[in-house]
Each structure stands twice: as C-alpha cells, then as structure tokens.
Amino acid sequence: MNHREMRARLLASRGRFVFFPDDVEIDKLVSTRAFTHLVVDEDIVLYAHPVMEEQLESELEENYDVIYEEPMFKGKYFVSPAAKIGNISFEYESGLEILKYVFRKPFEEEIKYLVKLGEIIQRAMSSFFESLSIGITEREAKSLIDSALLKYGADGFCYETCVASGNRTKYPSPYATEKKIKKGEIIYIDACPVYRGYSLQFSRVIFSEERKEWMNAVRRVNAMYARLSSLIKPGTEFNFVDRYIRANTDDVPHYTIIPAGGFYQPFAPGAGLFEENMVFTVVPTINVSDGVIRVKRNMIVKKRSSEFFD
C-alpha cells in the first residue's frame, strides 16, 4: 500500500468523499487523472470513460477498483473546498475539516519529492544568477527562471512566477512587466514550482549594488532563519513562532508561515502545534526605503529541530 492508498483509507475512515481530476488533493490520492470521479468510501473506486482505459491502466499505481461508467450516488458526500460545485449533481458538503487533518502533513514516503524539489530550486537559481544581467526586462528574467526550473526537473507552476524590480517590489502582488532592470535596484523573485504534485513557494532578492541598509536587512533575515532551525520542533506553538518572526523582521499583515507541499498545516498566526514532518514556508518581510526584502524559504520539522529544503 503506497502513501496515496494510505491517505485514501484514512479519509474513508472519516467520511464519504467524491473527488474530481482537477481537485488540488488529487496527486496525493491517486497517480493518474484519467478518470471522471474518485469515490472514497468503504470501497475506493475510480469511475472513468472507456476512452481513458489505456492511459488509466498505464498510470494507475494504486489498488483501486475501476468502473467504466457513470457513478450512481446515494446520500451525501464530502467534496474538496476547491471543487467546482457547478458540476456536482449529488448532495454534498465541504470536507475541509476532515481534509485539514488528513492532509496536514506528508507521509515519510512523500518527503523525498519535496527534497528533490528543493534541489531543483537550488540548481535553477544558481543557473539563473549566472544568466541574469542589467538591462533585461522583468519578463525576460521571468522566462529565464521558469526555463531553469523546468530544465532541472519541475513539472510546472502553482502560480505565475513574479519578477519585480525597484519600487515595484513594494507592491503587495507584483508581477513581471516590460520594465528594464536597472543598476541600483532590488530585484525580487517569487515562484512556486511543482514536482510530482508537490509544490514549494520560494522567493529571493538580488541586489544590483551593495548598500548598507539592504545588507543589514538580509543579515536580520538570515539570523532569524538560523534561530528558527532550533526553535521549531514538535510541540512548538504556531503563534509562538509567528511572534518571533514579527519581532525580528517587520510586523506585516500576512501570515508569517504557510503550509508547503500542497498540505494544509501549519499557518502562523494560528492555533496549533508543530508536528514531526510538517512542511512549511516562512514568509518574512523587511521594508527598506526603496524596496522590500522578502526571502521565502521552506522547512521540515524533524524530531528535535527543523531543516531547510532550499
């Protein structure tokens, strides 16, 4: 029984679910999208159209029943909160609370995918730094990052990669434009590559010249990260870590920690305790006079401390 089957069985023990191929949880439940409905009940069944048979049989790794016909639903089922409810023709309710437990962290078998994705990020960014030059546009820089991530193994992206420079780094939701990158600017990069259905957000800042204010901000972020490695361990409160991050960077209106890998926990601020194998992205922010310093990094909780993926 692989990790997808284990998670599906755990789900079945808590409720009856119906999933669709484009639900965000699918890659952690089944190894193919060649189906119309995944029904998680006493029996776990894939319903598919006959034209999907060849693809389904070549990709399916789980020991699920397969039926090539439309399902007949009886009673109420839970669905993903991201499900497109306009296509639902049966009685349903959101399964969010159950999903928050079942998908709160990866199984041991899944961690290797996140480790691999961290390696992809490191290799891609090293390649990108070598190819970046003053005078290219933000969109050109974006294409270089995306190409490097795909070259080194990413399957795709959760959202469009952002490259912003200069004053545009201050925007809450910047995006790449035809603006040319100039010397004397901060360059901000934010991306979320996907590998085998698992994702890691990351961001980096690049300085086109050395300024004391910028370097001091980076030193603050690095010192915070060094402390977090020993601070975050099983049993540490989410809110305790949130207060620490805000005290050592800037008090910002967004979460300081968000789940990584496509999982549902942890959120800081938020009620809860870190558990072994929880994976998360730290989202610090330091505002400087001519931009923003934000270096998102990804971590995993180990038995006595936490470690970085990237």
* Cα dist from 16 to 8, 33, 41, 205, whole Å: 10, 20, 5, 45
The DSSP-derived string for 203-265 is EEEEESS--HHHHHHHHHHHHHHHHHHHH--TT-BHHHHHHHHHHHS---SS-SEEE-TT---
pTM as predicted: 0.92
What is the fold, at CATH topology level, of the domain defined by 108-308? Creatine Amidinohydrolase (3.90.230)
**89-106 pLDDT, tens digit each:** 899 999 999 999 999 999
- Where do the structural domains in the chain lie, given as residue ranges? 3-102, 108-308
Residue 305 buriedness (CB in 10 A; 0-12 / 13-18 / 19+):
middle
To the question of domain 3-102 being in CATH 3.40.350.10, the answer is: yes
Residue 251 pLDDT? 85
Q: How confident is the model at residue 84 (pLDDT cuts 50, 70, 90)?
A: confident
Does residue 154 have a pLDDT over 80? yes
Segment 150-161 mean pLDDT: 97
The amino acid at residue 213 is: E
**200-237 pLDDT, tens digit each:** 999 999 999 889 999 999 999 999 999 999 999 999 99
Segment 248-266 mean pLDDT: 94
Residue 164 pLDDT? 96
Distance CA 142, CA 299 (A): 25
Beta bridge partners of 119: none
Does residue 58 have a pLDDT over 90? yes
